[in-house]
Structure 1
Amino acid sequence: MKYIDEFQDPALARRLLDEIHAVTTRPWALMEVCGGQTHSIIRHGIDQLLPDNVELIHGPGCPVCVTPLETIDKALEIASRPGVIFCSFGDMLRVPGTDRDLFQVRSLGGDVRVVYSPLDALRIAQQNPDRQVVFFGIGFETTAPPNAMTVHQAERLGVTNFSMLVSHVRVPPAIEGLMTSPDCRVQAFLAAGHVCSVMGTEEYPELAERFKVPIVVTGFEPLDILEGVRRAVLQLERGEHRVENAYPRAVRDEGNPAARRMLADVFEVTDRAWRGIGTIPGSGWRLAERYRAFDAEHRFEVGAINTVEPAACRAGEVLQGLLKPHQCEAFGTTCTPRTPLGATMVSSEGACAAYYLYRRLGGPIAPATPVEATPVG
């Protein structure tokens, strides 16, 4: 299958690994800021194939995981109101709020529906003019363009019973926030290819220069990740700190101009709280003033909500790369995908979910060679 099989070739993987081993002379810590890459790394055992002194730190790359608890609780409040049809992607339904999740809201009579596109929610609004339809719009730069387009369409079509609860976050400010933390150990970044396919790479050179860190844009298949690691380690060994595009089949420096124009029209940059991390300046989007009528938070006047994080959950440390999931005392015991304490365990891109799925038995696990497992979807 094109762009699948050739990027799981075991001979090429071995060659890349040999090169990484050959050039590595010192300990290095690299962070991937993408939940899809994290799952690919753990699923294929890539971190276990690397030299012992090359560490992969799992960053806050799961959009579900970094959605703040206050926003989850606001979603639960809105979804519980009579006359509301609350629409969301399926991975949000089991994310725990302070005292419930969207599945529980639905079991108590709330009209909570799983959709596969924000346009599905807009269509539901057109079909139910007497109901308020809300779409839970979360994600990084990857999912923001279709959400922006849907709001744009709602305005163009005059659909006044549609709104969106927005919790979009941006990667470059998150990198800055991580690098300015006193606990940061990151020496290089693997940047997410799908984010850069939308936004391009123009925001990264300044970060690479200011913090003296290589930033390598890469994809999600095993060979993509190994090539990204190889390039990052080479830069580190040479004392370089540049932006490199190791994913040219999908990423251009300018990104996707049409998508960026849509984002600039519908959204404006704002400070955004990240669950487990705190507020990062300029790290999010909200609806621009022209589209404020479609903002569910304003429409439903959901004000300040008192939230309580589970004391036993250490997801914040996991999201900052300070803790590996299996080092949390609750991992696999009181916290499982069926009884999650935090979103990192329930999300399909969460680091805790990846470790639970592939490494929960404990002890050393023989890693799969890159072609022995199917690709992460």
Structure 2
Amino acid sequence: MEKIHQATTAPITIMEVCGTHTMSIFRHGIKNILPEAITLLSGPGCPVCVTPQGEIDAVMELAARDEVILTTFGDLLRVPGRHGSLYDMRAKGADIRMVYSPMDAVAMAKANPDREVVFTGIGFETTAPTTALALLDAKKKCIKNFSLFSQHKLTPPALSAVLQGAGKRIDALLLPGHVSVIIGEEGFQNVFQDHPMPSAVTGFEPVDILGAILSIMKMKASKKTTLTNLYGRAVQPEGNPRARGIMGTVFEVNDSTWRGIGEIPRSGLAIQGAFAPFDARKKFGVHVEESASPKGCKCGEILTARMTPPECPLFGSLCTPSKPVGPCMVSSEGSCAAAFKYGN
């Protein structure tokens, strides 16, 4: 921290891309001890938060079907939809179950052969390989009553889109450690080439984050623009080729819509034709309609670093963790949830 203060000679705005970084920064009070010249802004690093409202509503339509057991990670349960949340639907009798792994959903389908078990696959490159493994397992075991509603997304295209719209407001990047485990620092090379700025892949402990900020400040002082990996204990330059190979077996890259950004070319993962029987969108004829975000919700602006949570007029008053208006106040990786819980 002393070295950071010594190296800080001019204002700088750093965007942490990962929601887990956001939570750690708030939890450990890092913003409070940094020099005033350093501004940290959150990026599109919360998977549930960047899922557009139309897809949230489509998931709820699936959950309303009598023959469906909808399985999901816990973050999605309380995200508000057009007619309440999945948590509200479960209270009214819908069969919605929280799981800790997509493999749990496959096991549930095997145990309930008379029901259709749907898993909502929300996440970035970090979770997509395990979802792909679940589909491979279901196909191998001929479990025909299991399907996936894929909402998986790819981080680099979204980061490029945010930086394109941000102009010169972002000076440096804290890059996500978990995503980099899969795609490596090399996975961000195209982003870095288009938007050269001090950038550091780092872990999630306070010393990891502070070390990355110090590295960025040294780069800025020496007028260097370098993409560096400070998370070598987990991230290899090339990432994890085997995990990406598993993803490539099951998924194909497609255009995808992101909350607050819109459609980004080649930023999503759709289920390949060989696995079409396990595609919930096709099996149930799901049509995702455009849906407006909740009135007054500024989640889109927060995800694209155009606003901080306290600047939202609903924050802490009409929008709280016990009564959220948007997903950024619900998810464990949401900027608003982190700011509300640890901001004071």
Q: Please, what TM-score do these two structures have when normalized by structure 1?
A: 0.89
Counterparts of residues 50-89 of structure 1 (less than 5 Å): 50-89=34-73
Report the counterpart of residue 362 of structure 1 in structure 2.
none
Aligned match of 2:271 in 284, 287, 300? Answer: 287
Report the counterpart of residue 238 of structure 1 in structure 2.
222
Secondary structure in 2 aligned to 1:203?
Answer: helix
- Asked if structure 2 preserves the Cα contact closer than 8 Å seen for 1:209 and 1:242, the reply is no
Which segment drifts farther, 90-99 or 300-309? Answer: 300-309
Assess, with a 3 A threshold, how the Cα gap between structure 1 residues 243 and 115 changes in structure 2: closer, same or farther. Answer: same
Report the counterpart of residue 318 of structure 1 in structure 2.
302
- Asked if structure 2 preserves the Cα contact closer than 8 Å seen for 1:98 and 1:308, the reply is no
Quote the offset at 1:182 in angstroms. Answer: 4.9
Secondary structure in 2 aligned to 1:202?
Answer: helix
Give the aligned residue type for 1:161. Answer: N
Give the aligned residue type for 1:106. Answer: R
- In structure 1, what is the Cα distance between the partners aligned to 2:262 and 2:221? 33
Report the counterpart of residue 33 of structure 1 in structure 2.
17
- Asked if structure 2 preserves the Cα contact closer than 8 Å seen for 1:29 and 1:54, the reply is yes
Report the counterpart of residue 118 of structure 1 in structure 2.
102
Secondary structure in 2 aligned to 1:270?
Answer: strand
Report the counterpart of residue 127 of structure 1 in structure 2.
111
Please give the per-residue CA displacement for 1:173-227, whole angstroms capped at 9, x wherever unaligned.
1111011115561111111111111111212223223212122100101000001
Assess, with a 3 A threshold, how the Cα gap between structure 1 residues 249 and 218 changes in structure 2: closer, same or farther. Answer: same
Give the aligned residue type for 2:206. Answer: P
Assess, with a 3 A threshold, how the Cα gap between structure 1 residues 85 and 120 changes in structure 2: closer, same or farther. Answer: same
Please give the per-residue CA displacement for 1:348-376, whole angstroms capped at 9, x wherever unaligned.
110000111112xxxxx5xxxxxxxxxxx
Assess, with a 3 A threshold, how the Cα gap between structure 1 residues 306 and 208 changes in structure 2: closer, same or farther. Answer: closer
Quote the offset at 1:88 in angstroms. Answer: 0.5
- In structure 2, what is the Cα distance between the partners aligned to 1:304 and 1:92? 17
Report the counterpart of residue 175 of structure 1 in structure 2.
159
- Asked if structure 1 preserves the Cα contact closer than 8 Å seen for 2:27 and 2:342, the reply is yes
Unpaired segments ≥5 residues, structure 2: none
Give the aligned residue type for 2:141. Answer: L
Give the aligned residue type for 1:125. Answer: A
Give the aligned residue type for 2:331. Answer: S
- In structure 1, what is the Cα distance between the partners aligned to 2:105 and 2:256? 24
Counterparts of residues 191-230 of structure 1 (less than 5 Å): 191-230=175-214
Give the aligned residue type for 2:164. Answer: T
- In structure 2, what is the Cα distance between the partners aligned to 1:270 and 1:113? 28
Secondary structure in 2 aligned to 1:180?
Answer: helix
- Asked if structure 1 preserves the Cα contact closer than 8 Å seen for 2:162 and 2:261, the reply is no
Which segment drifts farther, 167-176 or 183-192? Answer: 183-192
Give the aligned residue type for 1:275. Answer: R
Report the counterpart of residue 83 of structure 2 in structure 1.
99
Please give the per-residue CA displacement for 1:116-162, whole angstroms capped at 9, x wherever unaligned.
11011000111111111000110111111100100111111111110
- In structure 2, what is the Cα distance between the partners aligned to 1:183 and 1:241? 17
Residue 251, structure 1, aligned to residue 241, structure 2: no
Give the aligned residue type for 1:148. Answer: A
Residue 358, structure 1, aligned to residue 303, structure 2: no
Report the counterpart of residue 188 of structure 1 in structure 2.
172
- Asked if structure 1 preserves the Cα contact closer than 8 Å seen for 2:63 and 2:95, the reply is yes
- The 4+ residue runs of structure 1 with deviation greater than 3 A are none
Unpaired segments ≥5 residues, structure 1: 1-16, 360-364, 366-377
- In structure 2, what is the Cα distance between the partners aligned to 1:198 and 1:206? 16
Assess, with a 3 A threshold, how the Cα gap between structure 1 residues 202 and 306 changes in structure 2: closer, same or farther. Answer: closer
Please give the per-residue CA displacement for 1:323-365, whole angstroms capped at 9, x wherever unaligned.
1101111111110111111000011110000111112xxxxx5
Please give the per-residue CA displacement for 1:296-343, whole angstroms capped at 9, x wherever unaligned.
111110114352322211111111111110111111111011111100
Quote the offset at 1:276 in angstroms. Answer: 2.0
Give the aligned residue type for 1:109. Answer: G
- In structure 2, what is the Cα distance between the partners aligned to 1:20 and 1:101? 43
Secondary structure in 2 aligned to 1:329?
Answer: coil
- Asked if structure 2 preserves the Cα contact closer than 8 Å seen for 1:276 and 1:315, the reply is yes
Aligned match of 2:144 in 136, 156, 160? Answer: 160
Indicate the RMSD between aligned Cα atoms, in angstroms.
Answer: 1.3
Report the counterpart of residue 264 of structure 1 in structure 2.
248
Q: Please, what TM-score do these two structures have when normalized by structure 2?
A: 0.97
- In structure 2, what is the Cα distance between the partners aligned to 1:111 and 1:205? 44
- In structure 2, what is the Cα distance between the partners aligned to 1:129 and 1:241? 56
Report the counterpart of residue 139 of structure 1 in structure 2.
123
